[in-house]
Amino acid sequence: MEVKAVTKYVRLSPRKARDMARAIQGLPVADAIKTVEFSERKAARQLEKTIRSAVANAENNAKLSADDLRVKEATIGEGPAMKRFWARSRGMVSRIRKRTSHITIVLSDGK
């Protein structure tokens, strides 16, 4: 059985978070949480929250044991970007895109 958790509108660039998501794919939940706990990246904190949410969904809604779960899929999608401008010389501006991410974690019990 598969269980999913989604965190939306995380103020983090998807490009900076995808390598952390690739590192935890296929790992048992306990190992994935250890991997993100010891990382100092901002993406690691958000991934940990989403993994713990997916585990809680599995235990409370699907009545699955957390010991049997694996991270089947960890994806980072693009959310909307806030558009800002930065003043430059001679009255010009540069565009700044403050990107957001949608984090999706799918856990599976392997059956």
pLDDT of 53-106, one tens digit each?
A: 999 999 999 899 888 999 999 999 999 999 999 999 999 999 999 999 999 999
Quote the strand ranges of the chain, DSSP E. 2-10, 70-78, 82-87, 93-98, 101-108
The secondary structure element, H or E, covering residue 51 is helix 42-60
Domain borders along the chain are 2-108
Report the predicted TM-score, pTM, of the whole model to 2 decimal places: 0.89
Per-residue pLDDT reduced to its tens digit, 9-63: 999 999 999 999 999 999 999 999 999 999 999 999 999 999 999 999 999 998 9
The CATH number of domain 2-108 is 3.20.20.120 = no
Please answer whether residues 27 and 73 qualify as being in contact, where contact means their C-beta atoms are separated by less than 8 angstroms: no
